[in-house]
């Protein structure tokens, strides 16, 4: 059964939601039969990368509110949730960076079956290690860490490869009504929006799996006299 996830590396709740979903999945009886598919979503496609600007200052400037107020908001919201599940988020040093190239890197990783590892590496680089996720050399290093080949990385990062895949994901998100991320779709039927608790994800996993399993029951065959594919008749 497939679980599709739309997310943006710049979104702290996407990082949190990834981990709370994984907590639920780790305890799910049929986890080995769940296929997780990552999809691109840009919160601010027009964002200009500025390595000298941090996320707190950027949000304060954008909203026109005091710096200390933004710090309190971030720590009371995403910061508190992250801490509760063991994630480190350094908002004071998080680099303001456009995520389009990071999404192209994830699209490459999907073709090599390491998209989940790539997502995690990018989230950690952005929120914990204060890396510039729009810097191609940084992306190249992260890609190598999850096992991607240098030739594939260079071809992707220094051309516009996979740009069409990113745009297609964004169009699909618009078509199904995604207004924010993270956004999870289970078995193309049930959607969960936001960084929910493991209990919520567990409930949806169980419900969607029950329906999926029912839909994919093998045929019950009443056998009678017949000829088989080897020409034997009985």
Instruction: Give the model's pLDDT for residue 220.
Output: 60
Residue pLDDT, tens place only, 14-64: 999 999 999 999 999 999 999 999 999 999 999 999 999 999 999 999 889
232 C-beta neighbours (distance < 10 Å), count = 8
3 has which bridge partners? Answer: 36, 186
Mean pLDDT to the nearest integer, 66-81: 92
Residue 206 inside a domain? The answer is: yes
Residue 221 inside a domain? The answer is: no
Instruction: Give the model's pLDDT for residue 232.
Output: 78
Residue 225 inside a domain? The answer is: no
Provide the domain limits for residue 23: 2-215
Instruction: Give the model's pLDDT for residue 224.
Output: 67
Task: Count CA within 13 A, CB hemisphere, residue 67.
Answer: 8
Residue 224 inside a domain? The answer is: no
Q: Could you write out the DSSP letters of every residue in 139-184? A: HHHHHHHTT--HHHHHHHHTS-TTHHHHHHHHHHHHHHT--SSSEE
Residue 18 inside a domain? The answer is: yes
Q: Is the pLDDT of residue 219 over 70?
A: no
- Find the CATH number of the domain harbouring 138: 3.40.30.10
Please give the span between the terminal C-alpha atoms of the chain, in angstroms, as a whole number. 39
Arithmetic mean of pLDDT over the chain: 94
Polymer length in residues for the chain: 234
Q: Is the pLDDT of residue 221 over 80?
A: no
Instruction: Give the model's pLDDT for residue 222.
Output: 67
pLDDT grade for 226, boundaries at 50, 70 and 90: confident
What total of structural domains would you count in the chain? 1
Instruction: Give the model's pLDDT for residue 58.
Output: 92
Residue 222 inside a domain? The answer is: no
Residue pLDDT, tens place only, 150-160: 999 999 999 99
Residue 227 inside a domain? The answer is: no
Residue 228 inside a domain? The answer is: no
Query: Model pTM?
Result: 0.91
Residue pLDDT, tens place only, 99-139: 999 999 999 999 999 999 999 999 999 999 999 999 999 99
Instruction: Give the model's pLDDT for residue 216.
Output: 77
């Amino acid at each position: 059964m497939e679980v599709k996830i739309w997310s943006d590396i710049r979104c702290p709740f996407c990082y949190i939601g990834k981990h709370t979903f994984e907590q639920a999945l780790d305890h799910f009886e049929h986890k080995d039969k769940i296929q997780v598919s990552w999809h691109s979503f840009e919160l601010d496609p027009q964002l200009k990368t500025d390595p000298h600007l941090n996320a707190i200052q950027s949000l304060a400037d954008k909203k026109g509110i005091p710096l200390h107020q933004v710090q309190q908001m971030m720590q009371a919201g995403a910061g508190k949730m992250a801490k509760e599940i063991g994630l480190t988020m350094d908002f004071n040093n998080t680099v303001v960076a456009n995520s389009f190239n990071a999404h192209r890197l994830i699209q490459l990783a999907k073709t090599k079956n390491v998209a989940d590892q790539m997502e995690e590496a990018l989230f950690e680089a952005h929120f914990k290690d204060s890396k510039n996720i729009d810097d191609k050399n940084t992306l190249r290093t992260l890609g190598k860490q999850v096992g991607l080949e240098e030739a594939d990385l260079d071809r992707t990062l220094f051309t516009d490869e996979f740009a069409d895949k990113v745009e297609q994901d964004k169009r699909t998100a618009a078509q199904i009504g995604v207004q924010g991320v993270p956004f999870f779709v289970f078995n193309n039927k049930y959607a969960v929006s936001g960084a929910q608790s493991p209990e919520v994800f567990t409930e949806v996993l169980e419900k969607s799996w029950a329906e999926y399993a029912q839909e994919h029951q093998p045929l019950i065959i009443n056998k009678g006299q017949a000829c088989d594919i080897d020409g034997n008749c009985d």
